[in-house]
Structure 1
Amino acid sequence: MNVLIIYAHPEPKSLNGSLKDFTVRHLERAGHTVQVSDLYAMNRKASLDAHDTSERHSGERFVASLESKHAFENGLQSEDIAREHHSGNCRITASAHFSVYAYGLAYDVGEHSDARWGERYGEGRFAGKRAMLIVTTGGWESHYSARGINGPIDDVLFPIQHGVLYYPGFEVLPPFVVYRTSRVDDAKYAEVSEALGRRLDTL
């Protein structure tokens, strides 16, 4: 199986970074091919603008959806976008690693795909492929329950799982979430990584 990991965290030595490294090692040991897009290491531009294409479709008002479609269909995307399109085309399963910060998603993960993957809900170019979020958060698990202060974790992740992944056709697998990250010691990390390994084996 070919796997693309989209990693979005500013600190390589963080829990998130460690889990990304574990994911790569675990999948490669199982015989899978893994590619990592490290958004922070790439210093990737998150904003969507007219510079995402080498030739404008219209010389007047910038209409993002029309310009993105024109650039994609005519091979006019900027180099970073074209590179990520190639990564997505070559991969079967996508995994996104990032942290949740008070209802916000690290490094604008959504913008990463807006210019690259957008098609139409459930019928896009990634139909038949699978995606899974691997998420860390400092909050208690109970905080992300139906009656929790932050609301259900699936509601918090809905913009990514539905609006970013399902939109271009991915089959979205249940997320793997690590709660209370500040309390993850060596014993807890061993427990978390073992559980993550079991999830990865089901991809």
Structure 2
Amino acid sequence: MKVLLVYAHPERTSVTHHLVELAAETLTARGHEIMRSDLYGMGWKAVFDGRDFPQRADPNRLSLIEESGHAFANGCQTRDVEEEQRKLLAADAVILLFPLWWYSMPAIMKGWVDRVWAYGLAYGYQGAGNAHRYGEGGFAGKRALLAVSVGGPEQDYSPRGINGPLEQLLFPITHGTLFFPGMQVLPTFAVYGAATIGAQGVAEAAAAWRGRVQRLFDDEPIAFRPQNGGSYPDRHVLADHVARGQTGLMAHVAGAVMLDGHNDSFPAAFVEPCYEDG
């Protein structure tokens, strides 16, 4: 299989880079082919703007959707975007590795998504508007996994933790960025306490991460409800008989747990905590 590692951290000795090297080593040893996108190392342009469209469909007004669709359909995207799309389309699995900065991915990785997820590929697939999304689309059949290093302790991100549940903070990425264009998204791998990690923590993290990487093509994906599987009759809102009485993010995950009358957490396997040191 071909696996694309996309990672964002400016420090080579970071937990993120350590996880990258462990993943590459483990996957290579199992016979898989590795592709890399080191966003800081590449000096990736994070801002999505008119410079992404050297041949404009409309030179008078910048519509990012229109220009993205025009550039993708006519082979006039910038070279860096085309190269990342080439790697994505060749990959059987994509692993995004990043530190949790202000409850999301670093801006450089968000900019990678903004520029590479072109209209006609990741959304507006086959010119059919929203007909193919959430389980279908240009990246259908590929596996996706997040490996997130979190500075704070695990309890801060627990179901009643002060920062909010990590799985809900990451929902725009797992359900939106990845599941929307068709990827099968695996439970997130999270390293807690990364800001104060010690040698024992590193060893525990390495062991847990190797196990997850080894099961990359075996673990069950998160049970996000597909748009065209019957749960959304109008492609917009859940049917009355689906997740009856539930609202919010968790209603869109089969098997989500109800706590105190509210769907507060994903199934236990949604986020696999690694360790907390310090």
Contact 1:92/1:130 (8 A) holds in 2: yes
- Which residue of the partner structure matches residue 192 of structure 2? 179
The 3-state SS of whatever aligns with 2:116 is coil
Q: Does 2:56 align with 1:56?
A: yes
Contact 2:45/2:108 (8 A) holds in 1: no
CA distance in 2, matches of 1:101, 1:125: 28
- Which residue of the partner structure matches residue 150 of structure 1? 163
Alignment of 1:99-118 (within 5 A): 99-117=99-117, 118=122
Aligned pair partner of 2:144 in 131, 135, 147: 131
- Which residue of the partner structure matches residue 176 of structure 2? 163
The 3-state SS of whatever aligns with 1:40 is helix
How far apart are 1:69 and its partner, in Å?
A: 1.0
CA distance in 2, matches of 1:140, 1:97: 19
CA distance in 1, matches of 2:31, 2:50: 41
How far apart are 1:128 and its partner, in Å?
A: 0.6
How far apart are 1:104 and its partner, in Å?
A: 3.6
Q: What are the ranges of 5 or more consecutive residues in structure 1 without an aligned counterpart?
A: none
CA distance in 1, matches of 2:213, 2:56: 42
Contact 2:45/2:111 (8 A) holds in 1: no
CA distance in 2, matches of 1:132, 1:80: 23
Contact 2:48/2:111 (8 A) holds in 1: yes
Contact 1:114/1:164 (8 A) holds in 2: no
**Partner letter of residue 71 of structure 2?**
A
How far apart are 1:39 and its partner, in Å?
A: 0.4
How far apart are 1:161 and its partner, in Å?
A: 1.0
CA distance in 1, matches of 2:203, 2:136: 39
**Partner letter of residue 142 of structure 1?**
Q
CA distance in 1, matches of 2:55, 2:46: 20
Q: Which stretch of structure 1 is more off in the superposition, 109-118 or 39-48?
A: 109-118
What is the root-mean-square deviation of aligned Cα atoms in Å?
A: 1.2
Percent of pairs with identical residues:
40
- 1:120-176: CA deviation from partner (whole Å, max 9, x where unpaired): 433221101110000001111111111001111111111211221112111111110
- Which residue of the partner structure matches residue 45 of structure 2? 45
CA distance in 1, matches of 2:48, 2:102: 23
Contact 2:154/2:193 (8 A) holds in 1: yes
The 3-state SS of whatever aligns with 1:44 is coil
CA distance in 2, matches of 1:26, 1:184: 22
CA distance in 1, matches of 2:76, 2:56: 9
TM-score, with length taken from structure 2: 0.71
How far apart are 1:186 and its partner, in Å?
A: 1.6
- Which residue of the partner structure matches residue 28 of structure 1? 28
- Which residue of the partner structure matches residue 68 of structure 1? 68
CA distance in 1, matches of 2:33, 2:188: 21
Contact 1:110/1:164 (8 A) holds in 2: no
- Which residue of the partner structure matches residue 95 of structure 1? 95
The structure in which a higher percent of residues are helix is 1
How far apart are 1:180 and its partner, in Å?
A: 0.4
